Amino acid sequence: MCGIIGISSNKSVSASIISSLKKLEYRGYDSAGIATLFEGEIKELKSEGRVDTLEQNFDLKNLKGNIGIGHVRWATHGIPNSVNAHPHSSHNVSVVHNGIIENSTILKKYLIGKGHKFKSQTDTEVIVHLITENLKTRELEEAITSTLKQLHGSFALGIVFKDIPDLIVGARRGSPLAVGYGPSENYLGSDSYALKSMTNKITYLDDGEFCIIKKDQVVFFNEDGKNINKKILELSSDEASYEKGDFKHFMAKEIEEQPNTIKTGIKEYVDKTNSEINIYNFPWNVNEINSIKLIGCGTAYHSCLMAKYWFEELTQLDVSIDIASEFRYRKNRFKKDNLYIFVSQSGETADTYAALDLCNKNNMKTCAVVNVIESSIARDVNFVLPIHCGPEIGVASTKAFLGQILILYILALKLASLRKEINNKNYKEKVKDLQNLPSLIEKSLLIDNDIQAISSTFNEAKGSMFLGRGFSYPIALEGALKLKELSYVHAEGYPAGEMKHGPLALIEDGMPVVVLAPRDSYYKKTISNMQEVIARGAKVLLITNKSKDEIVSENIWETIEVENTNDDLLPFLLTIPLQKLAYYSALKKGYDIDKPRNLAKSVTVE
């Protein structure tokens, strides 16, 4: 995680660095820092806390220099304080780093032996001293090449030099890094979002590459220090989607944007006139695929679980799912007839990328469902299905989740149709039903008053549970994740039928339990499980869909009814109240909704 920025310009850079750091805060926000070069000196300023605190602590307006680097941190090595904040500097080199240096202990010993003095507890500081050491005997490009070869682990780096004052070096292995081009200035940034207000012309570094950035020139190198040419991409300018508008938080805005997320997804993938799904150019023969493995982390993993239910319902494929951090270290049996689907909002999650890398090394068929189409995961799979939901800034994933499950559902339908595992009438009806989904989501969003009142009970409780069966089980897990992530309330998701095998022991008088019981084929079973928790004192919030049939159960604390649709699509609607529940719980507690404690949006370290 962590966000880095670098600017080489013909004018002062501190204001632009600070404004880019504010944009990058979604990547890490426990400390921040900046270093500029002015009159042959590196000036380094760092603070614990947010970029605002850095601004309050120092007179940044008067920080001079036409070359500079900045950093927002998500701590890996060493506590979040001003000493461990980046940049880290020696007498002539200053570095910002995103990633983890795995051999830092060995390198530190070696460098201490050479007389280098360390100030922080970070792994990053070894990079500073290693470059300083290598520069004693080598020219810049050679010193960078050999430094990068000595580092194990992952990094995106921005480096400035006191004695070479007209340039910034950027380098990448495992962590994302982009170069931007402006008028009489050039930039380095963790992502295009940070550079968006300055340029829409971007080049992404690939693993092993580094670059030298001057105000009027950028040169790229491969890992052996050989010059290479790279493409410049022109990104669309969609500034409005990076602003909160009238919303108090990005999360609130992103929840409300979901009808649009679904509308856009449908527009991209569904031919309304013919009730057909527009996914054609698969790079493999779909009949050669006999099994599917879906891989992701956190919310994206819940999307994988959701997709497993749909793929199993609609196709004859053998479907399994995996948490990326587990998959990457297990002894996997790679099978030629397996399709590996990687699900990720950012497309930069380190564990998910490592899982993909492993599959690529084994020549597997790979596909990605991602939001950021310029991301590493999107670039390195055989086939990409973008979710097109626009930038998601809130750390808690909302619209990306609905976007992911929409595309996965569409893919399941398409494969079922191509493999002739669904009859045509049924297929067309299901494709048609999708058209109503945006308006159903819109209506299901109108529950703020009910949810606000309910959320206090969750805040006051020691813990809570989220139960569901079948299609509702992944949504229960997602609801629990949202609540813990935002409100710091203990919340667990369970398959409703699993309660009596242990978790029921946790139920006590007044414990809030969310039961997801839409009127699908699991309804009666789930209602029985609900009665079992009510009998043990739970305060049940039942979430179901509207129906003529009454709910045949007593002593339900609260009920929320979402709109009605076919069983496959109910998970979309059930998700909405859970997102709002988490949002309002955190709002009441006054927590930082878009930047929950200890987290970051893009998890680019293991």
Decide whether 341 or 396 has the Cβ nearer to ligand M6R: 396
Decide whether 304 or 530 has the Cβ nearer to ligand M6R: 304
| Residues forming beta bridges with residue 71, ordered by sequence position | 4, 33
Whether 359 sits among the annotated catalytic residues: the reply is no
Residue of 115, 124, 53 whose CA lies nearest to 82: 53
Which residues have a Cβ under 8 Å from the Cβ of 70 and sit 6 or more positions away? Answer: 4, 5, 6, 17, 18, 20, 21, 32, 33, 34, 35, 87, 96
At closest approach, how far in Å is the CB of 86 from ligand M6R?
22
Q: Helix or strand or coil: residue 585? A: helix
Q: b/e string for 226-242 if b means 16 or more Cβ within 10 A?
A: eeeeeeeeebeeeeeee
Decide whether 345 or 472 has the Cβ nearer to ligand M6R: 345
Number of residues counted as binding ligand M6R (CB under 6 A): 16
Decide whether 20 or 346 has the Cβ nearer to ligand M6R: 346
Among 18, 300, 496, 569, binds ligand M6R (CB under 6 A): 300
Interaction of residue 254 with ligand M6R, rule CB under 6 A: no
Interaction of residue 321 with ligand M6R, rule CB under 6 A: no
At closest approach, how far in Å is the CB of 3 from ligand M6R?
14
At closest approach, how far in Å is the CB of 293 from ligand M6R?
16
CA atoms of 220 and 186, how far apart (whole Å) = 13
Do residues 255 and 398 make contact, with C-beta atoms less than 8 angstroms apart? Answer: yes
- Which amino acid belongs to residue 166? D
Residues 333-362 binding ligand M6R (CB under 6 A) are: 344-346, 349, 352
Relative orientation angle of helices 399-418 and 424-434, to the nearest 10 degrees: 160
Interaction of residue 322 with ligand M6R, rule CB under 6 A: no
Among 416, 603, 604, 605, binds ligand M6R (CB under 6 A): 603
Interaction of residue 544 with ligand M6R, rule CB under 6 A: no
Residues 119-148 binding ligand M6R (CB under 6 A) are: none
Residues 468-487, one symbol each (x = binds ligand M6R by CB under 6 A, - = not), give -------------x---x--
Decide whether 392 or 561 has the Cβ nearer to ligand M6R: 392
Among 1, 164, 205, 396, binds ligand M6R (CB under 6 A): 396
Q: What angle do CA 288, 290, 293 make, to 5 degrees?
A: 120
Residue of 170, 169, 189 whose CA lies nearest to 178: 189
Piece in contact with ligand M6R (CB under 6 A), picked from 207-215, 284-292, 295-303, 492-500: 295-303
Interaction of residue 90 with ligand M6R, rule CB under 6 A: no
Decide whether 299 or 565 has the Cβ nearer to ligand M6R: 299
Interaction of residue 574 with ligand M6R, rule CB under 6 A: no
E-assigned strand segments in 114-268: 153-161, 168-173, 178-182, 185-189, 201-204, 210-214, 217-221, 227-228, 233-234
| Residues forming beta bridges with residue 68, ordered by sequence position | 7, 36
Which residues have a Cβ under 8 Å from the Cβ of 68 and sit 6 or more positions away? Answer: 6, 7, 13, 14, 17, 34, 35, 36, 37, 160
CB hemisphere CA count around 408 (13 angstroms)? 39
| Residues forming beta bridges with residue 93, ordered by sequence position | 161
Piece in contact with ligand M6R (CB under 6 A), picked from 108-116, 137-145, 206-214, 297-305: 297-305
At closest approach, how far in Å is the CB of 326 from ligand M6R?
14
Among 148, 395, 476, 477, binds ligand M6R (CB under 6 A): 395
Piece in contact with ligand M6R (CB under 6 A), picked from 78-86, 121-129, 235-243, 294-302: 294-302
95 phi/psi in degrees, rounded to 5:
-130, 140
Tokens 């856009």 — which residue? 264
What's the first-to-final CA gap in the chain, in angstroms? 9
Interaction of residue 294 with ligand M6R, rule CB under 6 A: no
Among 189, 298, 468, 512, binds ligand M6R (CB under 6 A): 298
Binding region for ligand M6R (CB under 6 A): 297-300, 344-346, 349, 352, 395-397, 481, 485, 602-603
Question: Which sequence positions are flagged as catalytic?
Answer: 2, 601
